[in-house]
Structure 1
Amino acid sequence: MFRRYRSISLILRILIGLVVGALLGVALPSWTFIGVLGDLFVGALKGIAPILVFFLITTAISRYKRGAENHFGTVIKLYLIATLVVAVAAVAASYFFPIKLIVSDAATKAATGTSAAPQSLGTVLEQLVVGAVSNPFGAMIEGNYLAILFWALMIGSALRLATETTRQTISDITDAIQHVAQLIIEFAPFGIVGLLFRSISENGLNGVARYGQLVLLLVGTMAFVYLVLYAGMVWLETRQNPYPLIFWTLKTSGIPAFFTRSGAVNIPINLQASEDLGLSKSSYAISIPLGGSANSGGAAITITIMTLAAAHTVGVPVSWPLAFLLCFLSALASTGVSGIAGGSLLLIPMAASLFGIHNDFAMQVVGIGFIIGVIQDSVETAVNSASDLLFTAAAEFGDARRDGKPIDVNARVRQARKLE
């Protein structure tokens, strides 16, 4: 029965969960026990997320090979700059269009009962330094993501000196934890039934309509980033009209990624597209897989906007210094997003901890993310995957221009279209 259940597309299952949760919330608002499904789902995410983040970052650092950046300096530069730029754009979007979320009353009380967020940059830095060196086991129990990030970096760096067998063992453990997280996400439709039921039964349909505003803000920001900011970065590299390449990468890589919702699944598509563009195999064979973790602009947008929406909901004032730190934290966190659907949502609590937002409330925000994930996660994956291809091409074309051997980008795109 479970195999039959999993054979149905996760997107379709989530859509069914949305419909069932809405119908039950309208027709049977007194059946409060249905909301327990949402509590179970959020609780499971709350339990696995800190462990998942720790092992993902530890494994990535332990596998890092010195000197790799020397061969791919331009593409890595584009990946990192793009991730930071989109985080700044997401902060600006949240300032212009602030959104308050609809969550359970208990979660709101828990969040507002915490200490106020620090107001000065000095206080923030002090809390970051002190909080980062907390006991790593206690950090995973309490959901202290800043400490988890610090110790993952430290232990991952130390493991670079370990034997290959040890590093492979850690990698295998990480794969197992990701499998458990994926298994939890398989039951997301049931959690969504409970979450949406509780939202509708407590706040009515008008309250849930705010989710639509959140989706519009997320998707609108991602579209602006890809069509304007990324296009500008490509122009700076190539000094040619970027839009033929922009639209071709969206069509070739973005559309498949939208429906699969998996950057890992889309890697072979990007590799073939790179070959069709006539790019150097010695370059794209590494830069495309690398982009799956180092280039996660869509994830940075999701983490930033959802975190600021949580701050607006509980009334935490967001100063520019705090917002600036959030940009760096979101950019850093997004590079550790796992390859599973909804992976960026599991990193929201780490960013929310910067504002003193309680972990229980942050996990409620994660639950909302899964409700809107049918659209949000699909668009996010499309942006991430298509930009891997986009920046790989832009880096090679840009280096050729600087070496005095300019390449006609539009001619390459026309060539690639003929090979499709």
Structure 2
Amino acid sequence: MFKSLFSAISKVSLVKQILVGLVLGLLVALYAPDLAGRVAILGNLFVGALKAVAPVLVFVLIMSAISGQKQGVQTNMKSIIYLYVLGTFSAALVAVVASFMYPVGLKLAASASDVTPPNGITDVLRTIAMNVVDNPVRALMNGNYIGILSWSILLGIALRHANDTTKEVIKSFSDAVSQVVRWVIQLAPLGIFGLVADSISQNGIGAMVGYAKLLVLLIGCMFFVALVINPLIVFVKTRENPYPLVFTCLRESGLYAFFTRSSAANIPVNMNLCKKLGLNPDTYSVSIPLGATINMAGAAVTISVLSLAAVNTLGITVDIWTALLLSILATIGACGASGVAGGSLLLIPMACALFGINNDVAMQVVGVGFIIGVLQDSAETALNSSTDVLFTAAADIASRKK
């Protein structure tokens, strides 16, 4: 009986299974809130499993890809990094322009607690540099993806001169970890069910009404970037209709990321999608974890919009050059945002400092960010993560036309 039921379920696409889990989670949250608290464990287990396996997956995949790479193989990494930076800066610029067109003020909340923002861009760059040289074991334990990337790249380069047997062992281990990831991803419908039920029952659908205007501006900017700016960048790169690829990435990557709210946790999902799209594994095994670290268009939108909301609240005048500088600062800061839920909010005080806003007020803006984080951070992560695959695929498609 269970075998036939499992066989029947497995024939339904994973996206459809997730949509069923989403609807069921919403129904449980609205009509059985006591049960919602109990099923929250399903969501926590799912996200926990993804976060646990992602660092190991990134480490072995990159090390295996680089060590086994043949000389002269095209990986398109320069092109992808260029797209990442261009996409993030464009998102910041869109957010700044939208904030001037539709200024939003804030009713400042109580200061957020238990967070330590960077004091400036120097702190962000210093943190990135220290993460690069972090202890590899500690980097794996703490999910420090910059450190994981640096060590896996170095070991991969060093192992390029190893014998074929050693390289085959590394590849086999990489394949085994990838299989574990596929098993975890199959549990996504149950995980989404638990996450939705818990989130809605805890916060309520009406919890965001007081900040509706701010949310509309934030999410509107992210939609514009996802559906206009990113497709335009992809069209310029590939010279073909970008929307089939855009919608595929949003559906099969953005949907997961929306609920997990973590670019790092979504790395295995993106790896799986890249494989499904037939992309070059030598490229995406590096570009996807790198994108989860530095490709942060959604974070750039959040930093820009909330900083300018604080500026509007305090009546500070901003000229066009300062606004442009904010776009650049938000781009650099977003690259330093951690790939976890709420990671971009801690960069807001850094951007506020550009306008002379003191840390106490800036931290109140961070507090507002946490209040609206249920929707803001979900939309931000969906944009960030889906764009990782989108730009990787665009570079791959463009390279095949040469």
Is 2:349 the partner of 1:349? yes
Cα distance in 1 for residues equivalent to 2:125 and 2:392: 30
Who is 1:250 aligned against? 250
CA contact (8 A) 1:211 1:372 kept: yes
Who is 1:145 aligned against? 120
Who is 1:168 aligned against? 136
Name the aligned partner's letter for residue 311 of structure 1.
V
How far apart are 1:271 and its partner, in Å? Answer: 1.1
Question: In the alignment, which of 41, 57, 82 is matched to residue 7 of structure 1?
Answer: 41
Cα distance in 2 for residues equivalent to 1:87 and 1:379: 15
SS class of match (2:265): helix
CA contact (8 A) 1:101 1:210 kept: no
Seen in structure 2, the aligned counterparts of structure 1 residues 236 and 348 have a Cα distance that, compared at 3 Å, is same
Cα distance in 1 for residues equivalent to 2:136 and 2:256: 31
Cα distance in 2 for residues equivalent to 1:233 and 1:86: 12
Who is 1:399 aligned against? 399
Who is 1:84 aligned against? 89
How far apart are 1:388 and its partner, in Å? Answer: 0.6
Residues 177-220 of structure 1 show CA distances to partners (whole Å, capped at 9, x for unaligned) of xxxxxxxxxxxx9xx99xxxxxxxxxxx9xx8551000000111
After superposition, residues 127-142 of structure 1 pair within 5 angstroms as none
Residues 37-75 of structure 1 show CA distances to partners (whole Å, capped at 9, x for unaligned) of xxxxxxxxxxxxxxxxxxxxxxxxxxxx9xxx9851111
After superposition, residues 19-418 of structure 1 pair within 5 angstroms as 72-103=77-108, 144-152=119-127, 159=133, 167-168=135-136, 171=139, 209=209, 211-401=211-401, 403=402
What TM-score do the two structures reach when normalised by structure 1?
0.60
Residues 143-171 of structure 1 show CA distances to partners (whole Å, capped at 9, x for unaligned) of 522342354466668x5xxxxxx643774
Name the aligned partner's letter for residue 318 of structure 2.
V
Residues 129-152 of structure 1 show CA distances to partners (whole Å, capped at 9, x for unaligned) of xxxxxxxxxxx9995223423544
Seen in structure 2, the aligned counterparts of structure 1 residues 171 and 229 have a Cα distance that, compared at 3 Å, is same
SS class of match (1:329): helix
Number of equivalenced pairs: 277
Residues 321-361 of structure 1 show CA distances to partners (whole Å, capped at 9, x for unaligned) of 11111111100111111122111111111111111111111
CA contact (8 A) 1:298 1:383 kept: yes
Seen in structure 2, the aligned counterparts of structure 1 residues 5 and 337 have a Cα distance that, compared at 3 Å, is farther
CA contact (8 A) 2:121 2:333 kept: no
Residues 355-414 of structure 1 show CA distances to partners (whole Å, capped at 9, x for unaligned) of 11111111111111111111111111110111111101001111222x1xxxxxxxxxxx
SS class of match (1:263): coil
CA contact (8 A) 2:257 2:382 kept: yes
CA contact (8 A) 2:296 2:335 kept: yes
SS class of match (1:264): coil
Cα distance in 1 for residues equivalent to 2:335 and 2:354: 18
SS class of match (2:103): coil
Cα distance in 2 for residues equivalent to 1:383 and 1:257: 8
What TM-score do the two structures reach when normalised by structure 2?
0.62
CA contact (8 A) 1:143 1:359 kept: no
- Name stretches of at least 5 consecutive residues in structure 2 with no aligned partner: 1-36, 45-65, 67-73, 145-198
Q: CA RMSD in A?
A: 3.1
Name the aligned partner's letter for residue 124 of structure 2.
L
Name the aligned partner's letter for residue 219 of structure 1.
I
Who is 2:196 aligned against? none
Identity of aligned residues (%): 43
CA contact (8 A) 1:271 1:288 kept: yes
Cα distance in 1 for residues equivalent to 2:389 and 2:105: 35
SS class of match (2:106): coil
Seen in structure 2, the aligned counterparts of structure 1 residues 143 and 390 have a Cα distance that, compared at 3 Å, is closer
Who is 2:155 aligned against? none
Name the aligned partner's letter for residue 339 of structure 2.
G
Who is 1:197 aligned against? none
Seen in structure 2, the aligned counterparts of structure 1 residues 244 and 354 have a Cα distance that, compared at 3 Å, is same
Residue range with higher mean Cα deviation, 377-386 or 258-267 = 258-267
SS class of match (1:298): helix
Cα distance in 2 for residues equivalent to 1:251 and 1:94: 28
Cα distance in 1 for residues equivalent to 2:301 and 2:321: 18
SS class of match (1:74): helix
Name the aligned partner's letter for residue 94 of structure 1.
S
Name the aligned partner's letter for residue 120 of structure 2.
Y
SS class of match (2:105): coil
Seen in structure 2, the aligned counterparts of structure 1 residues 317 and 9 have a Cα distance that, compared at 3 Å, is farther
Cα distance in 1 for residues equivalent to 2:143 and 2:221: 32
CA contact (8 A) 2:76 2:395 kept: no
Seen in structure 2, the aligned counterparts of structure 1 residues 155 and 268 have a Cα distance that, compared at 3 Å, is closer
Seen in structure 2, the aligned counterparts of structure 1 residues 212 and 265 have a Cα distance that, compared at 3 Å, is same
- Name stretches of at least 5 consecutive residues in structure 1 with no aligned partner: 11-64, 108-139, 160-165, 177-188, 194-204, 404-420
Seen in structure 2, the aligned counterparts of structure 1 residues 142 and 332 have a Cα distance that, compared at 3 Å, is closer
Who is 2:70 aligned against? none
SS class of match (1:339): coil
